Chains A and B, each alone.
Chain A
Amino acid sequence: MAVPRLWRHIPTRYNLIGTECQTCGGLYFPPRTTCPTCRRDGRIIERKFKGTGEVVTYTTIYSASAAFHRQTPYVLAIVKLDEGPLLTGQIVCDPDEAKIGMKVRPVFRKLGEDGPSGIIYYGTKFAPLTEASQ
């Protein structure tokens, strides 16, 4: 990924900064610059999502591209954030721990890197929500 594009994505990736339409209350993650419901009447502001949510569905990846091969097997899930939006993210748990309906919380992890000499991408993944982490 080009460095400028990576840099623009930092707030979104690190802190789940999305957007909210003040006109209709619509919440968007990833952020949208216009509201699909209100269109020109939409008033868009920044909105931070807590990052807690629930696993809607998941799959275990056993075979991945070169960049992610090292991490296999890993769990990729669709997470419904407590505020409503759905997003795809990795769950940092063993495949046998993953369950549909499992509550998750956000964790800060390496998302990837441009080889050994390139930029390292950091951002949000999810972990099972346990008592100690609440």
Chain B
Amino acid sequence: MIGITSYGAYIPRYRIKVEEIARVWGDDPEHIKKGLLIYEKSVPDLDEDTATIAVEAARSAIYRRSIDPKEIGAIYVGSESHPYAVKPTATIVAEAIRATPDLTAADFEFACKAGTAAIQTCMGEVAMGAIKYGMAIGADISQSAPGDALEYTAAAGGAAYIIGKKNLITEIEDTFSFTTDTPDFWRREGESYPMHGGRFTGEPAYFKHIISATKGIMKKVGTKPSDYDYVVFHQPNGKFPLRVAKTLGFSEEQIGLGLVVPMMGNTYSGSSLIGLAAILDQAKPGSMILMTSFGSGAGSDAFSMTVTDGIEEVRDKAPTIAELLKNPRYLDYALYAKHKGKIAV
């Protein structure tokens, strides 16, 4: 059986509240909070980017399981905010966790689902016996134009997963994907901020892909919503995942533990993976988890997995999502703009 051997996450310490962004743009904060189900979001420090976030998450995953980094045969970093246009983030991570030089590495791009695509690739290489362990990372420092609705949600964070056959904390029963060419959200080369199709981002993109992939995985492994203890979806805001859960027949109880977006925002490639980490922080052996990511453009990857006894060995060995969210430092909009590079200093 193939599954998750270890995981690690990282969330920058800085936050900005919805009230502070709303104050600057003259929006009603209560309306935003109710509409998006989001209260504050993480902001990277001035010297943090997708590579540093990926490294911190990767180190946490290594540390949690005391894995010899030389046994990692592949590192894939999924992001839509790689620091270089040409020059992989994955090599920086490989060097920083001392996994070099006998491994393969690459950067993945598929909007917010690049990290789950990386998990699937690791599963394939582990299955064929080419590598013992593969590391898949989803990390982003998402950008949003000042004043755009996305500014309330675009956050920073990431998570790393080590995929293998041994020392598992979850067994992955199977994975299923649903992919179409849907232009709901994009950013052209050289542009600082993404564009989106407004309301078009909902029904034909997020909902259609997540629903199709989630139904697909349940059909493939022969499960139904009530078989799962926990479910986690991509979280562009708090409302979308709750609605998609309801449509599919999952309860608020099943989705609650992994719904991390209200207190940290949308971490794009990190979103569903940080949600899964929050579930693994607490799930008991035998629990079944369903995860479905979503990437604009568009596609969803769904995974069905079962927590093993191994979870108890690693649970407290690295910072949990709850611990990473503790002791935030709040920024006002001016400092936030400086952190996000929105103003030239």
Chains A and B form a bound pair = yes
Interface of A toward B, CB cutoff 8 Å: 10-11, 14-15, 69-71, 92, 94, 107-111, 120, 122, 125, 130, 132-133
A130 — nearest CB in chain B belongs to which residue?
B327
B166-196: contact bitstring with A at CB < 8 Å (1 yes, 0 no)? 0000000000000000000000000000000
Closest A residue to B45 using CB positions: A92
Tell whether, in the assembled complex, residue A110 and residue B84 are in contact, meaning their CB atoms are under 8 Å apart. Answer: no
Closest to A134 in B: B319
A133 CA to B11 CA in the complex, in Å? 12
By a CB distance below 8 angstroms, the chain A residues around B329 are: 94
Q: Assess the B98–A110 pair: CB atoms within 8 A.
A: no
* A10 to B327 CA separation, bound complex (whole angstroms): 32
Select which of B47, B59, B95 is within 8 A of A125 by beta carbon: B47
CA–CA, A111 and B55, complex, Å: 14
Majority DSSP secondary structure for residues of A touching B: mixed
Interface size on B, residues (CB 8 A): 25
The CA-CA distance from A47 to B121 in the complex, in Å, is 34
**CB contact list, B81-129 vs A, under 8 A:** 83-84, 92, 95-96, 98
A10 and B45 alpha carbons, distance in the complex (Å): 22
Of the candidates B56, B96, B319, which one forms a contact with A132 in the assembled complex, judged by CB atoms under 8 Å apart? B319
B46 within 8 Å of A (CB atoms): yes
Query: B300 → chain A, closest Cβ, in Å?
Result: 31
Known contacts A15-B96, A69-B345: does B324 contact A132 (CB below 8 Å)? yes
Verify A71–B84 contact, CB threshold 8 A.
no
Complex Cα–Cα for A83 and B220 (A): 54
Q: How far is the CA of A75 from the CA of B326 in the complex (A)?
A: 22
Residues of B with C-beta under 8 A to A14: 95-96
**6 residue pairs bridging A and B, Cβ less than 8 Å apart:** A14-B95, A14-B96, A15-B98, A110-B48, A132-B323, A132-B326
Alpha-carbon distance between A125 and B31 when the two chains are bound, in angstroms: 40
What CA separation (Å) do A94 and B83 show in the bound complex? Answer: 25
CB of B153 closer than 8 Å to a CB of A: no
The 6 closest A-B pairs by CB, nearest first: A132-B323, A108-B55, A110-B47, A109-B47, A14-B96, A70-B345
Residues of B317-338 at the interface with A, using a CB-CB cut-off of 8 Å, are 319-320, 323-324, 326-327, 329, 338
The answer for the CA separation of A119 and B45 in the assembled complex, in Å, is 19
Question: Residue of A at shortest CB range from B339?
Answer: A70
Question: Considering the chains assembled together, what is the distance between the CA atoms of A69 and B345 in angstroms?
Answer: 8
Interface residue B51 (Cβ < 8 Å from any Cβ of A):
yes
